[in-house]
Homo-oligomer: A and B are copies of this chain.
């Protein structure tokens, strides 16, 4: 590994307590049918769940939403939430043309602020 690359990995401090990221990448259909309201409701509801840490979202050509969680079990519990399950069904039937879910362990992080 190059010296600069090596320094970089040291700069991105390895977390003593890793946490989880769920990367949800998707493309939408043309069907609105309450999508925006439901997306906001689901974000609000996720924020109230045990183990919830953070949520980030943006949409252009594709949508990317990343939610962060303390444990794998917190993710599974949120997935199994009754209201969330209803939203997921509507997502499959109406709103999403394609999506990909990735469950990741966040091992290192670094923040910059001006």
Residues of A within 8 A of B (CB): 1-6, 8-9, 12, 21, 23, 25, 29, 56-64, 66, 72-73, 75-77, 79-80, 85, 92, 96-114
- Alpha-carbon distance between A76 and B25 when the two chains are bound, in angstroms: 24
Interface of A is mostly: strand
- Alpha-carbon distance between A60 and B61 when the two chains are bound, in angstroms: 11
CB contacts (< 8 Å) of A6 on chain B: these are: 76
CB contacts (< 8 Å) of A58 on chain B: these are: 58-64
> Which B residue sits closest to A109, measured CB to CB?
B102
CB contacts (< 8 Å) of A8 on chain B: these are: 76, 79-80
Residues A110 and B100 in contact in the complex (CB < 8 Å), given A60-B58, A61-B58, A105-B105:
yes
